[in-house]
Amino acid sequence: MSRFWSKLAHGLKPYVPGEQPSITNLVKLNTNENPYPPSPKVLAAMAGAMDADLRLYPDPSCGALRQSLADYVGLQKDQVFVGNGSDEVLAHAFQALLKQDEPLIFPEITYGFYPVFVDLFGINHRAVPLAPDLSILVSDYAGNNGGVILPNPNAPTGCLLPLQQIRELLLANPDRVVVIDEAYIDFGGESAVALVPEFDNLLVVQTFSKSRSLAGLRVGMAFGQAHLIAGLERVKNSFNPYPLSREALAGAQAAVEDVDYFNMPCQAIIERRQQLSQQLLELGFSMTDSKANFVFVEHERLAAAEIAAALRERGVIVRHLTSHPSTVNRLRISIGSESECEALVAALREII
Amino acid sequence: MSRFWSKLAHGLKPYVPGEQPSITNLVKLNTNENPYPPSPKVLAAMAGAMDADLRLYPDPSCGALRQSLADYVGLQKDQVFVGNGSDEVLAHAFQALLKQDEPLIFPEITYGFYPVFVDLFGINHRAVPLAPDLSILVSDYAGNNGGVILPNPNAPTGCLLPLQQIRELLLANPDRVVVIDEAYIDFGGESAVALVPEFDNLLVVQTFSKSRSLAGLRVGMAFGQAHLIAGLERVKNSFNPYPLSREALAGAQAAVEDVDYFNMPCQAIIERRQQLSQQLLELGFSMTDSKANFVFVEHERLAAAEIAAALRERGVIVRHLTSHPSTVNRLRISIGSESECEALVAALREII
């Protein structure tokens, strides 16, 4: 607290990201990082951009990266936006598109940053409870509202909405923007990017941090019709016109263009999620049908806090999110490498 | 325009950064980039950070970089903030510290982003005219206000306030934050960072883009007492908790630590500014006493727009800022390399 802070700064409840421990040799399954390295072509492209030209500003329009993304998904460059991680992209979407007189609606159990953004930007909002099985009922997101945002798959539940239900959501909100936050879409879902040409109210947000193995590079993107992208650009150019470094632009573009490399890690993580889920079932856990690179589990007997603490003692970190009573006894566990998942299961066998 | 934009997005007048031309072989003297490359140790450190660990999030607290900066200026780590370029750092300062009921005051002719930030964040504000010689009179910045922000040296004038006048400004505003934006301080000014231990209302913002030759890496920083830095952290953690990539953290840290390398480019630019100023005087230009890496000039006969267009035809780009009537006939010209300055002078000799 300081008498020099603005009222806004006093009132904020900042987001608390998952622990980034400085201790090495931990099995880190708490922030949904990809166990596979990025494409070797990413590292080569970054090395190529690492020279005396770092003295020069990067391209503020991020044109080459946006063109590569447009080509990859079959859209035009002016239908693509990029930013310094998908959190920044989401922040701009909240300010440019989702700040309306009527309440923005989002799921009650969802990405923990949405309630933070609405506080930061002073956005009227309403949280919609999930169904008892923790799924999202799209029929709850129609009617009078100032916009809709939801992750698909949802976090931390991992539950996926099929494209047909995203379509229903868009049809039910023709006058408001619907943001589909697809941070985890590449681990078993079907992207709503295919619906962009058809719906003028759809914005799809994605990230390089998960399926592209580039959490350390900080690049996120959004796809939508040009008028929505122009709204994001207005806010971006009123906040920070050069969000991506030369390294980030080069590395991200190489990641998009290396289509062959992309599929292997995603497939491996999907298969390992199935194996791990089976092992956890045998240990007395129940879980949602996650289509993300994590599982969201609850034990039949032991409390989540107790399991998380016992895992921590054994050098395994998982995420225990305590913000909602109905999920307070659940753990979100990232799908790590084969050896990390083995270490997790071995530690759980000891504990249970 | 789009019916889906927020009222806020409709009302913005985004900042227009200097042109980043895609044509090569241009003499680019329009965005105050440093003609010298960054320290070789920066490139080595970035290469060291370019590996499979890019799959992992960077340290959200940016601890190692902040410690290096603290050691460099003789402060503590909790008195240092870093962000994705000094524009982002400034944006957080506007929201966290400068958004008050009373008007924020800043010079009428100054960094063009300040009027953009006050619009974006809805901040009450008042612009203070410069003296007829384009200098800032600190006595104009006392009295009832919600805070003060000014660049030192000011941009685009290059005029420097000595530390004694910064001290007077701080003493005249004991209950409000005074932000000194020192993007250009290393080209002949004395930094107000030395005053941080003494003044609880001082925030000093700096950048790696100019004197550190790292415009392409996007890193900026702020120095102030811990309670002010904590205010910035609250906004940062409500907006984007991971603003700096692994590459940016490693490169910026190496830049700070290579103290020996740092002085040479700054000295060379200061000397070249003197030479260039003399040559421009001989060509009929008058100019402010710039202590930045640019000169701010007006010709006795030819109009600024005419000169800028004629230079453009000859492959030399300078910045013509048209926002204020009293400086509309001036050009801001960056101090480039020796050959770039020679090309500029040769082109001007042709034109004049």
- Section A133-161 average pLDDT: 96
- By C-alpha distance, which of B120, B122, B156, B104 is closest to B13? B120
Q: How far is the alpha carbon of B157 from chain A, nearest alpha carbon, in Å?
A: 21
**B241: nearest CB among A9, A17, A209:** A17
Exposure string (b/e) for A144-154, b if CB count within 10 Å is 16 or more? ebbbbbbbbbb
Which among A8, A16, A52 has CB closest to B99? A8
Q: Which of residues 115-134 of A touch B (CB under 8 A)?
A: 116-117, 119-120
pLDDT tens per residue across span B79-118: 999 999 999 999 999 999 999 999 999 999 999 999 999 9
Scanning B171-230 for CB atoms below 8 A from A yields: 175-177, 200-201, 209, 213-218, 227-228, 230
Q: A86: pLDDT confidence band, cut at 50, 70 and 90? A: very high
Q: Which of B1, B3, B5 to mutate to test the interface with A (most CBs of A within 10 A)?
A: B5
Q: For chain A, how far is it from start to end, CA to CA, in angstroms?
A: 43
Q: Which of chain A's residues have a Cβ under 8 Å away from the Cβ of B58?
A: 20, 215-216, 218
pLDDT reported for residue B22: 74
Give the gap in angstroms from C-alpha B113 to the nearest C-alpha of chain A.
Answer: 8
Strands A331-334 and A316-318: unpaired
Nearest chain B residue to A230, by CA: B1
**3-class secondary structure per residue, A151-170:** ECCCCCCCCCCCHHHHHHHH
**Predicted local distance difference test score (pLDDT) of residue B158:** 98
How much is the mean pLDDT over chain A?
96
Residue pointed to by tokens 């030819």: B302
The predicted model scores a pTM of 0.97
Task: Give the CA radius of gyration of chain A.
Answer: 20
**Token digits for B271?**
């000397």
Alpha-carbon distance A162 to nearest alpha carbon in chain B (angstroms)? 25
Crossing angle for the helix pair A63-73 and A246-257, to the nearest 10 degrees: 20
Q: What is the pLDDT of residue A144?
A: 87
- pLDDT at residue B21, rounded to an integer: 80
State whether residue B45 sits within 8 Å of chain A by CB. Answer: no
pLDDT tier for residue A19 given thresholds of 50, 70 and 90: confident
Q: What was the pLDDT predicted at B209?
A: 98
- The DSSP-derived string for B52-117 is GGGGSPP-TT-HHHHHHHHHHHT--GGGEEEESSHHHHHHHHIIIII--SSPEEEESSS-TTHHHH
Predicted ipTM > 0.90: yes
CB-based contact B231 A116, cutoff 8 Å: no
Q: How confident is the model at residue A22 (pLDDT cuts 50, 70, 90)?
A: confident
> Picking from A60-74, A227-241, B316-330, which range would have the lowest pLDDT averaged per residue?
B316-330
The structural domains of chain B, with segments of one domain joined by +, span 7-37+263-351, 40-259
**B72 interfaces chain A, CB cutoff of 8 Å:** no
pLDDT at A23 > cutoff 90: no
For residue A21, the model assigns a pLDDT of 80
Q: Report the pLDDT value the prediction gives residue B17, as an integer from 0 to 100.
A: 81
Interface test with A, best of B34, B36, B39, B50 (most A CBs within 10 A): B50
| Contact (CB<8Å) B240/A216 | no
Mean pLDDT of the A182-186 span: 98
φ, ψ of residue B270 to 5 degrees: the values are: -60, -45
Q: How many CB pairs under 8 A join A and B?
A: 273
Fold of B7-37+263-351: Aspartate Aminotransferase, domain 1 (3.90.1150)
Residue A199 has pLDDT above 80, yes or no: yes
Cβ of B56 within 8 Å of Cβ of A33? The answer is: yes
Low-confidence ranges of chain B (pLDDT < 70): none
Calculate the CA dihedral of residues B160, B166, B168, B172 and round it to 10 degrees: 120
Q: Which residues of B touch A207 (CB under 8 A)?
A: none
* Minimum distance, in Å, between the CA of residue B181 and any CA atom of chain A: 16
CATH of B40-259, one of 1.10.10.410, 3.40.640.10, 3.40.50.2000, 3.40.50.300: 3.40.640.10
Task: Considering the domain delimited by A7-37+261-351, tell me its CATH architecture.
Answer: Alpha-Beta Complex (3.90)
Residue in A35, A57, A217 nearest the CB of B20: A57
